Amino acid sequence: MCISQLGNSFFRCVRHHLTASKYTLYGSSHQILRRLGCVKEQQFKDVLNEISQEVDRRRHLSETSVRRAAAIKDEYQPLHPHVYHLQESYLAPKFKQIVEYCRSVDTSIEGLLDLVVEEAATRVYRFPVFEKGFCEELLEELEHFEQSSSPKGRPNTMNQYGILLNEMGFDKDFITPFREHYMSPLTSLLYPDCGGRCLDSHKAFAVKYDLNEDLDLSYHYDNAEVTLNVSLGKDFTEGNLYFGDMRQVPLGETECSEVKHVVTEGLLHRGQHMHGALPISSGQRWNLIIWMRASQERNKLCPMCNRRPTLVEGDGFADGFTKQKLKP
């Protein structure tokens, strides 16, 4: 008997999505809540109610996303239909030069850094990705969608303002070929130790920072093996990113590095590298985020719950896990 991987079926980790059950309010979590000032019975009930609502939301993530995507496909009229299809003309010449180098036979990280790639922090790389004109048109499309009556799903629990690009229809003809043909050669060279050579799925979304909405993003790590973060615009001041260490390193032993984020440029880093975004002081900023995932890595250990994943089938790329089955 041999084991084969089901490359076409992707799964979600039940442990990651559903560990926030009512039972977590007891034991050590109960003590933590007390230290944070939760002492009255009603306060515990309020916390339990909030957690229960979040568990229910996570249980139905896939089906609600499918419904939204169907409604968007039926109702929404794109402003710039061409931006949904990746074209070489959208890409910065220097980015294409980087990819060509990574596709060649004799490559090295040193040679890559001699081109136009800058190591902005430890294993955090900055380089041009898109042309300015494309960024402007993509932003116009995103804002047009934001102002429409179509249903909208938010990227995650940390970003309250943003858009899930798969629901808009960007995956098939833009994000997937971009990951497979352009990002994979780069990640294979830079991150072979954390799945960079075997990326097979992703989650792509746009996030928005505004003085009247989300100003910043707190310290966190991503549900990804490798992350690309591209600044799309608009005009803004401040709002740099900062990077600490890998999530396994205690915060007290971490020294953060501040990294400037320039419009049209991308920052590429390991998903488990702790980072955050400082508040903007004026204007509005949009970022394109692509969480790139390698099922070969995450099938062994869920990067979010740090346990062997317990899987249920999901729609699309789900959480990037795949399931193995026995074949005679």
Which superfamily is assigned to 83-293 in CATH? q2cbj1_9rhob like domain (2.60.120.620)
Of residues 259, 289, 269, 273, the one with CA closest to residue 220: 273
Q: Compute the distance between CA of residue 60 and CA of residue 22 in angstroms, rounded to an integer.
A: 18
On the 0-12 / 13-18 / 19+ scale of CB atoms within 10 A, 266 is: buried
Beta strands per DSSP E along the chain: 2-5, 11-13, 118-121, 124-128, 162-164, 201-210, 217-220, 226-233, 236-238, 241-246, 257-259, 265-270, 273-277, 280-293, 311-313, 324-327
Chain-wide mean pLDDT for the chain? 87
Average pLDDT over residues 188-193: 96
* CA separation for the pair 327, 119 (Å, rounded): 45
Residue 328 reports pLDDT greater than 70: no
Least confident among 15-24, 179-188, 213-222, 317-326:
15-24
DSSP β-ladder status, 162-164 and 236-238: unpaired
Confidence of residue 310 (pLDDT cuts 50, 70, 90): confident
What is the reported pLDDT for 45?
A: 81
Q: What is the mean pLDDT of residues 239-244?
A: 93
Question: What residues does each domain of the chain span?
Answer: 83-293
* 106: phi then psi, degrees, rounded to nearest 5: -95, 95
The pTM of the full predicted model, rounded to 2 decimals, is 0.87
In the chain, what percentage of residues exceed pLDDT 90? 59
